[in-house]
Amino acid sequence: MTQNEIYISVDVEASGPIPGEYSMLSLGACVVYDQTQTFYIEFKPISDKYIMESLVVSGLYMTQLKETGVDPTIGMTQFEEWINAVSQKDRPIFTAFNATFDWMFTAYYFHRFLGRNPFGISGLDIKAYYMGRFHTKWEQTTKRKIDPSFLSGRKHPHHALDDALEQAELFRKVLETSSK
């Protein structure tokens, strides 16, 4: 018997380009085919390193998050519980627009703070899926260059939940469209 899959759109905002050295500041997620099922959290930083541009873009600041952010062990436990609740018996599939960035932070935090990752060892990259589905070049997978009919019309405010919702809508439209 094969297991059903559930696509979960994930977006993160971070204080820099790599996990461990820099911190994941926030994480947003939603179920691709039920965008009322959402998760959002802001984390206490795990290091003091940051790139100012990363903070400005997200509007999240280290000093504030040291006070208001959730401890990463608690936050990742809550995220895992949410994934299990929305997945039930289905296999959760990590999905992101440029998954390499979001995946590395999410996987790092799951393994560092929980010793496991409910997504397993793989993630689905929406950009790569689009490229293969529509036989484009990689350079044609930026939001400025993909077919505008796939775009949600939402702003991209670099807020992890808003961005997860935006990319979920894009991915759902790609999945529901036959190859051109």
Residue 118 lies in a domain: yes
The parent domain of residue 93 ranges over 5-175
Residue 132 lies in a domain: yes
Identify the band that residue 122 occupies on the pLDDT scale cut at 50, 70 and 90: confident
**pLDDT digits over 40-66, tens only?**
999 999 999 999 999 999 999 999 999
Identify the band that residue 126 occupies on the pLDDT scale cut at 50, 70 and 90: very high
* DSSP structural state of residue 176: T
Residue 180 lies in a domain: no
Residue 127 lies in a domain: yes
Question: What is the distance between the alpha carbons of residues 63 and 154, in angstroms, rounded to a whole number?
Answer: 29
Residue 10 lies in a domain: yes
Centre a 10 Å sphere on the Cβ of residue 62 and count the other Cβ atoms it contains.
17
Residue 61 lies in a domain: yes
Residue 12 lies in a domain: yes
CATH number for 171: 3.30.420.10
Known catalytic residues are 158
**pLDDT digits over 135-149, tens only?**
999 999 988 888 888
Count, in order, helices (H) and strands (E) of the chain: 6, 5
* 25-29, 47-51, 99-103, 138-142: least confident range: 138-142
Whether residue 154 contacts residue 170, with contact meaning beta carbons closer than 8 Å, is answered with no
Residue 83 lies in a domain: yes
pTM reported for the whole predicted model: 0.94
CA dist 10 → 79, 116, 133 (Å): 11, 17, 21
The number of folded domains in the chain is 1
